[in-house]
Structure 1
Amino acid sequence: MFDTELLRTFVAVADSGGFTRAAERLHLTQSAVSAQIRRLEDQAGCVLLTRNTRSVALTAKGETLLSYARTILHLNEDARARLAGSKFTGTIRIGASEDFASTWLPYVLRGFKAGNPGVALEVEVGVPPVLFQALDEERLDLVLGSRCRGEARGWSLWQEPLVWAFAEHDQIALQEALPLAFFPEPCPYREAALAALAWKQQPWQIAYVCPSISGVRAAALAGLAVTPLPRSALGNGLRELGPVDGLPELPNAEFLVCIVENGCREPIRVLADMIRDAATRIDAG
């Protein structure tokens, strides 16, 4: 049987990408983290991580154990909560882009709240750069958002192509300035789209600005503008434009969950893990 504390350390190293950040997250010394990983490898009877001076990577057997480790830790938390009742208290301040807030996130929060009635949840919906800034300033505890480029942070939930969306049965004239529908600045989709159009030297004009996905989708559905969206957000009535239509390819959108680094409380980590599990199930489905 594996020691759950060793599994927790192993997951922290895998998630953080190294011993130093894992030690900070667990409030341990780096040598203590290294010692716990060696003990876990002794229990497993195999090497779980490959190490060099710059990075740590999972071996094939480490990848296998990681999935089991998450399940074991979550079952352990569930059993403790059901038998003794969750003792978590306080408030978690959550920032979420609309990609999350209008889809499956409320159901994850409902499940967390059912198991942790003593924790109050406050949710702020906004654009990712603003939410990440609030996280850095410790005005939020956990943020779910997306990025198309920039420094990696937090945990990646999934990636999918960012595409040009337009009315299914309408035609767009690229000889003229391309009408665009965007979220307000700052917005990673907006930045990626304008960078791609600049590389293509395609004239453009901003025809529609709306803070919600439903708003920019409505502009595209009406044939008023082209808008950059994750492919999964196209839905009925919209089609994907691309190089065959004379438009440049767009980068992938990466969806992330990040938590406050300083003094992170256990309930925040538990909620982040629930979100990651939900995203894994959705991506697998």
Structure 2
Amino acid sequence: MFEPELLKAFITVVETGGFSKAAERLNSTQSTVSYQIKRLETQAGRTFINRTTRSISLTEDGEVFKGYAEKFLRLVDDAKQHFGAPKLEGTVRFGASDDFATYCLPELLARFRRIHPEVTLSVEIGISRNLVDRLHDGDFDLVLGKRALGDDGGELVFREKMNWVAAHDYEFNPKEPIQLAVFPQPCIYRATALEALGNAGLPWHIVYTCPSLSGVRAAALSGFAITPLASDFVSPDLRVLPNSPVLPEMPEIEFAVYWGKGGDSPAARAFGDLIKSDSGGLQQIFRLAA
């Protein structure tokens, strides 16, 4: 069995990109972290990290082991929270935007269920602004959704760069307006993209509208149109289009937790705290799934 402190040292080295930075984060020394990694590799009988004087990189075995280590440490943390947290009951009504639900939600729900098995979760997926409006009407206890950069509603969880995304073989037709695939209104991706195009004085035409992330991505994959997406949703079968006179630069977009009238319940607060405390893990899940 691999020791949790060795796994933590390994993940920290990967996240920080070096032994010295990992030692700083762990409040340890570089030699100690290096020794821990050597012990881990000796126990596994494999080499996980390629070391040079200037950088590190993961071996093929290291890439595989990273996934196992992250899952194991998450389970250890869940067990600590389960046995250390007070027993909670009740129902949490949660709304989430479709993009978040597509990638992060299964892992998040599984973690919360392991920690608080007696709490019932009621989940609905939709467009962020619609969910937040319904939150104010009392339909949800909390919502995780997108907001424009600079908006002060909700509590920031993390932010991502927006990009213009298309199929690898997509080519612009200079004789036509920019062909767009977007979510229906009111969508922050859509509003932000149209504002950027309008400010740049560029013509555009919405040729595809779909309420699901999978549908919008399908339109981009087909070469039918381009679409605005956050960086973590750009899978290898899509490409980020470079900024050019044809396309303006896109801003960042933020994911935030919004609290409703029922958000003060211990169960709802615990669920929201899990989302906020695991923001780095959520982004890793995005990247692994995309």
TM-score (ref. length: structure 1): 0.67
Report SS of the residue matched to 2:103: coil
Partner of 2:198: 198
Task: Note if 1:170 corresponds to 2:148.
Answer: no
Judge conservation of contact 1:242–1:248 (CA < 8 Å) in 2. no
How far apart are residue 226 of structure 1 and its match?
A: 0.9
Partner of 2:107: 107
The residue identity in structure 1 corresponding to 2:195 is A
Partner of 1:240: 240
The residue identity in structure 2 corresponding to 1:195 is E
Q: Which runs of 5+ in 1 are unaligned?
A: 1-74
Q: 1:189 to 1:278 in 2, by over 3 A?
A: same
How far apart are residue 86 of structure 1 and its match?
A: 4.8
The residue identity in structure 1 corresponding to 2:210 is C
Partner of 1:253: 253
Judge conservation of contact 1:180–1:206 (CA < 8 Å) in 2. yes
Judge conservation of contact 2:162–2:253 (CA < 8 Å) in 1. yes
Report SS of the residue matched to 1:202: coil
Mapped to 2, the partners of 1:235 and 1:91 lie a distance apart of 35
The residue identity in structure 1 corresponding to 2:187 is C
Task: Note if 1:82 corresponds to 2:83.
Answer: yes
Mapped to 2, the partners of 1:283 and 1:213 lie a distance apart of 17
Judge conservation of contact 1:259–1:268 (CA < 8 Å) in 2. no
Report SS of the residue matched to 2:264: coil
The residue identity in structure 1 corresponding to 2:243 is P
The residue identity in structure 1 corresponding to 2:83 is R
How far apart are residue 266 of structure 1 and its match?
A: 1.2
Judge conservation of contact 1:86–1:115 (CA < 8 Å) in 2. no
Task: Note if 1:119 corresponds to 2:110.
Answer: no
Judge conservation of contact 2:140–2:262 (CA < 8 Å) in 1. no
Q: Deviations over 1:157-185 (max 9, x none)?
A: 11111111111122112441111101111
Q: 1:171 to 1:76 in 2, by over 3 A?
A: closer
How far apart are residue 257 of structure 1 and its match?
A: 1.5
Partner of 2:160: 160
Partner of 2:228: 228
Mapped to 1, the partners of 2:241 and 2:259 lie a distance apart of 35
Mapped to 1, the partners of 2:221 and 2:77 lie a distance apart of 48
Mapped to 1, the partners of 2:282 and 2:208 lie a distance apart of 31
The residue identity in structure 1 corresponding to 2:198 is A
Mapped to 2, the partners of 1:76 and 1:240 lie a distance apart of 36
Judge conservation of contact 2:93–2:142 (CA < 8 Å) in 1. yes
The residue identity in structure 2 corresponding to 1:229 is L
Judge conservation of contact 2:182–2:228 (CA < 8 Å) in 1. yes
Structure 1 residue ranges (4+ consecutive) displaced by more than 6 angstroms after TM superposition: 75-78
Partner of 2:181: 181
| Number of residue pairs matched by the alignment | 210
Q: 1:259 to 1:246 in 2, by over 3 A?
A: same
What RMSD in Å do the two structures reach over aligned CA positions? 2.5
Q: 1:246 to 1:266 in 2, by over 3 A?
A: same
TM-score (ref. length: structure 2): 0.66
How far apart are residue 76 of structure 1 and its match?
A: 12
Q: Which runs of 5+ in 2 are unaligned?
A: 1-75, 286-290
Q: 1:136 to 1:233 in 2, by over 3 A?
A: same
Q: Deviations over 1:105-151 (max 9, x none)?
A: 22221221223222111100000000111111221011111112463
The residue identity in structure 2 corresponding to 1:276 is K
Mapped to 2, the partners of 1:82 and 1:170 lie a distance apart of 52
Mapped to 2, the partners of 1:245 and 1:237 lie a distance apart of 24
Which stretch of structure 1 is more off in the superposition, 175-184 or 85-94?
85-94
Q: 1:246 to 1:263 in 2, by over 3 A?
A: closer
Identity %: 38
Mapped to 2, the partners of 1:148 and 1:122 lie a distance apart of 26
The residue identity in structure 2 corresponding to 1:163 is N
How far apart are residue 200 of structure 1 and its match?
A: 1.3
